[in-house]
Amino acid sequence: MNPLDLPEGTLFGADNLPYGVFSTPGSTPRTGVAIGDHVLDLAAATGDGVHATGSLDAFLARGPQAWAAVRAQLVRWVTEDAAAVEPHLLPRDAVTMHLPFTVADYVDFYSSQHHAENIGCMFRPDSPPLTPNWKHLPIGYHGRAGTVAVSGTDVVRPSGQRKAPADDLPTFGPSRRLDIEAEVGFVVGVPSDGPVTVDAFAEHVFGVCLVNDWSSRDLQAWEYVPLGPFLGKSFLTSVSPWVVPLAALEAARVDPPAREPAVLPYLDDAGLRWGLDLALEVHLNGEHVSSPPFAQMYWTPAQQLAHMTVNGATLRTGDLFASGTVSGPGRDQRGSFIELSWGGAEPLTLADGSTRSFLEDGDTVTLTATAPGTGGGRIGLGEVTGTVLPAR
């Protein structure tokens, strides 16, 4: 009995083991686990048909005990019994990744104070940057589940109504202010027929992925009053193909920032430590442009889940809720180009000398993230990438 050989410094060691859905040419999609530079065919390795369905849905619905049992088996194989998995490993660069689960409902929050203050300054220059409700509840909106797509999906530039403050009337045409939002998504496994309290977070949420909430700032700025984001964000939301289980993030849990004023009892998460020390990175055409820190998010995912169900709204397997844009206090910690370029007033200078405020056709944006692992090193959340194509 030998441990599995893993590449030195891999972000996909025995303390990560994220789940995704993959296929190879001529084969049907099935569940895989990223291990080192390989993907483990979980259906073949376990013989359990739940992993041959082409989606994580049924496995997600089984709940925490089933998730823990599969994870324990995987850890045992990787650390002690390489022979059990070696026949079922495929090189990761030879497989195609698919949307890992059926997105039921999609909710997007607004939980970075730095992002909310930056956006507030730009969208509502005559009002205080934070709205009066911001520190009392995690603000969110319902997005469009049907346009959540896996990493690699092309980003066709959206068209719509654009009206700058100085224009008399709106015009119709391709967005001129196409942007990204670097976010973290939380994937619900176990349904609920009523409120989920903050301390029941891990009984329902399976794991996390990366989210790019592609955003058209010119469409958004004109349409959003008074009901919030609509066509400016519903054309595409991209997710990373690997869902990292909460169990892999034990070493990343941190205390969230102090809340002042105190929150209502149903949002009180004292002692729960569902802040997460995830280090995000934003790359434009291969060049690093920003490092948003997730640990500083004002509202935790446990509070977000409690808030989105406190009115009795039910949860379904595959519900996805995203953190909101992750921005830190530093200029190089902003999670969107509208912030990085301050609304276009301070364009970024790229390595080739060109400048960029918003995305141009042909641009590729890739988000990555790592976190402390329980093995003493770091684990990876993989990446979510997309390339902008001209408007149709």
Ligand X SMILES: O=C(O)/C=C/C(=O)CC(=O)CC(=O)O
217 binds Mg ion (CB under 5 A): no
Q: Rule CB under 6 A: choose which of 31, 151, 304, 325 binds ligand X.
A: 325
Residue number with CB closer to Ca ion (13 or 185): 185
- CA 357, CA 279: separation in Å to the nearest integer? 23
Residue number with CB closer to Mg ion (46 or 304): 304
Amino acid at 89: L
User: Which phi-psi region, left, alpha or beta, contains residue 147 (left: φ > 0; alpha: ψ -120 to 50)?
Assistant: alpha
Q: What does DSSP say about strands 320-322 and 348-349: parallel, antiparallel, or unpaired?
A: unpaired
343 neighbors 122 (Cβ within 8 angstroms)? yes
57 binds Ca ion (CB under 5 A): no
Give, as ranges, the residues between 207 and 226 that touch ligand X (CB under 6 A). 213, 215, 224
57 binds ligand X (CB under 6 A): no
Closest to 183 (Cα-Cα) out of 318, 78, 336: 336
Q: Maximum Cα–Cα distance for the chain, whole Å?
A: 74
Alpha-carbon distances, residue 243 vs 91, 276, 377 (angstroms): 18, 15, 19
Q: Rule CB under 5 A: choose which of 55, 151, 175, 237 binds Mg ion.
A: 237
Count of CB atoms situated within 10 Å of the CB of 20: 26
Residue number with CB closer to ligand X (29 or 275): 275
Q: What does DSSP say about strands 287-290 and 320-322: parallel, antiparallel, or unpaired?
A: unpaired
Tokens of 145: 């589940």
213 binds Mg ion (CB under 5 A): yes
Alpha-carbon distances, residue 364 vs 114, 148, 155, 182, 384 (angstroms): 25, 18, 9, 14, 11
Q: How many residues does the chain have?
A: 392
Spell out, one character per residue from 149 to 188, where the chain touches Ca ion: x when CB under 5 A holds, - when not: --------------------------------x-------
- CA 20, CA 184: separation in Å to the nearest integer? 16
Count of CB atoms situated within 10 Å of the CB of 164: 12
385 binds Mg ion (CB under 5 A): no
Q: Confirm whether residue 220 is marked as ligand binding.
A: yes
339 binds Ca ion (CB under 5 A): no
**Which position has the token pair 């089984």?**
62
Spell out, one character per residue from 86 to 125, where the chain touches ligand X: x when CB under 6 A holds, - when not: ----------------------x-x----x---xx--x--
108 binds Ca ion (CB under 5 A): yes
Q: Active site includes 115?
A: yes
Binding at 110: pick from Mg ion, ligand X, Ca ion, none (beta carbon under 5-8 Å per type):
ligand X
51 binds ligand X (CB under 6 A): no
Which residues lie near ligand X (CB under 6 A)? Answer: 108, 110, 115, 119-120, 123, 181, 183, 213, 215, 224, 229, 324-325
Name the residues annotated as catalytic. Answer: 115
Which residues lie near Ca ion (CB under 5 A)? Answer: 108, 181, 213
Residues within the annotated binding site?
108, 110, 124, 181, 183, 213, 220, 224, 233, 237, 325
